[in-house]
Amino acid sequence: MLNDSSSVWLVDYYSSWCAHCRMFAPEWEKVGELYAPSKIVQVGAVDCNRHKEICTREEVHAYPSVKAHHVPLGSNEKVNMEARGRKKLKSVAAWVEDVLKEHDMKSGVDMSTITEEKKLRRNEDAEIEPSKVIEDDTSTLMKYNRLFDAGKAVMLALENSFFIGVQVLEGERYDAALKWVNALAASFPLEGNRAAMVKLADIMKQQKTWSLVEWSELIRSMTTRSFKAEEAWKPSETMAAIRLYMKNFFGCRDCRQYFMEANPESLVEELAAGDTNGPHAVVMWAWKMHNPVNKRLHVNQWPSLSACSSCYIDIGGPVSIGMSLIHEDGIAAYVTSVYGHEDKALFDEIIMTATQRHRFAISKDIHMA
């Protein structure tokens, strides 16, 4: 579609893991329906996870990104839609029509067919009801699923995120990438995983400039080995690494902006002051960051009162976001119990659980056959 210069191509560059991309998808479908009758405007989409080389070539730095290609017709010129506010059918259509008008073109589409959406009022300070679905956060199955998801997320980051919109990893982005890998080497679950990250960090230090081809070959060739950490890792360094990762590599533009506004550089220094008292301050920071995101996505406060009665001051009603109504030590202890574990014991449990699930799936298939 990008080679078809006989039409103006509107393209949504997205990532399948991006929550804002999923929220934007229904609006993009409406854009496609609106311009379906047009003789000069075509609408398409590119999944940057599957078509990394295209998105790198098009210098896509964040998701979702909307571009108009071949403006004017017959050219290879393109126009980027500015990332201001939420993208909706009306705002995208208005932008498209303005771009076409600047080049003496008309889409031929009746803009009056766009109906106004009713604005839903919601109380941003509303309390969140306790979840009716009770799940045991500390169960082996939950830990298995959490580790599986974490592993997929790390591989996605290593394979894709470092090179969003660029062909070379260098400078500030290289420094941020190395700090992120060091954070994984110090804190990622299971010794074998940390060993792989230690080796990756050692190799990264051998050169400060990596091309996309070199990096891809490196990731494919990775193997694990035993290791010992070179120096103690401070809890606040994990937060600092996360912040740099979000700043330089996280593709969801709205998520990145929200995170950076909520976590100024001064917060890193503030958390570092608590390193001598262990990870308590960073654990509480992670918890405090987690629940506002839940609130924005209309997901229940975590943990629920039923899952952790020692986490909250029971006022006989819904769990409150208010920090004055929580037991901080209870929250820190619960979060640590959920995400902390002894590697060997948990690894053995996970292998056993995975094996049992695999055997059950096979026996079920045989029975159905």
CATH number at residue 14: 3.40.30.10
CATH number at residue 215: 1.20.120
| Domain-terminating residue out of 182, 216, 233 | 233
Query: What is the domain count for the chain?
Result: 2
Q: Are residues 44 and 91 in the same domain?
A: yes
C-beta of residue 253 within 8 angstroms of C-beta of residue 83: yes
Q: Within 13 A of 356's CA, how many CA atoms are on the CB side?
A: 9
pLDDT of residue 364: 41
Q: Are residues 13 and 87 in the same domain?
A: yes
pLDDT of residue 228: 47
CA distance 227 to 194: 9
Instruction: Flag whether 251 is in a domain.
Output: no
C-beta of residue 181 within 8 angstroms of C-beta of residue 201: yes
CA distance 185 to 201: 8
Phi, psi of 240 (to 5 degrees): -60, -40
C-beta of residue 253 within 8 angstroms of C-beta of residue 182: no
Q: Are residues 106 and 149 in the same domain?
A: no
What tokens appear for 307 in the block? 């899952």
| Domain-terminating residue out of 233, 268, 285 | 233
Instruction: Flag whether 343 is in a domain.
Output: no
Q: Are residues 12 and 85 in the same domain?
A: yes
Q: Are residues 31 and 85 in the same domain?
A: yes
- Cα–chain center distance at 52: 17
H-type alpha helices, 135-190? 140-159, 171-187
Nearest C-alpha neighbor of 10 from the set 69, 90, 72: 69
Q: Are residues 92 and 157 in the same domain?
A: no
Q: Are residues 109 and 157 in the same domain?
A: no
**Of all helices (H) and strands (E), which one includes residue 79?**
strand 78-80
What is the model's pTM?
0.55
CA distance 327 to 323: 9
Instruction: Flag whether 328 is in a domain.
Output: no
Q: Within 13 A of 33's CA, how many CA atoms are on the CB side?
A: 10
State the helix-helix crossing angle for 140-159 and 343-368, rounded to 10 degrees. Answer: 100
Strand partners, 12: 45, 66
Instruction: Flag whether 277 is in a domain.
Output: no
pLDDT of residue 121: 39
Q: Which domain holds residue 106?
A: 8-113
Strand partners, 42: 9
Instruction: Flag whether 264 is in a domain.
Output: no
Instruction: Flag whether 344 is in a domain.
Output: no
pLDDT tens string for the chain (369 positions)? Answer: 667 778 999 999 998 877 788 889 999 999 999 999 999 999 999 998 888 889 888 888 888 899 999 998 888 889 999 876 568 899 999 999 999 999 999 999 988 888 654 443 344 443 434 444 445 666 666 776 777 777 778 887 888 788 887 889 999 999 999 999 999 988 887 777 888 889 999 999 999 999 988 998 888 776 444 444 455 678 888 888 989 988 888 877 778 888 888 889 899 888 888 888 888 888 888 888 877 766 666 667 788 888 888 888 766 655 555 555 788 888 888 888 777 655 555 555 554 554 454 444 434 444 444
Q: Are residues 72 and 26 in the same domain?
A: yes
pLDDT of residue 299: 67
Instruction: Flag whether 211 is in a domain.
Output: yes
Distances (CA, A) of 42 to 9, 83, 101, 198: 5, 21, 16, 47
Annotate 133-142 with b (16+ C-beta within 10 A) or e (fewer).
Answer: eeeebeebee
Instruction: Flag whether 135 is in a domain.
Output: no
pLDDT of residue 104: 92
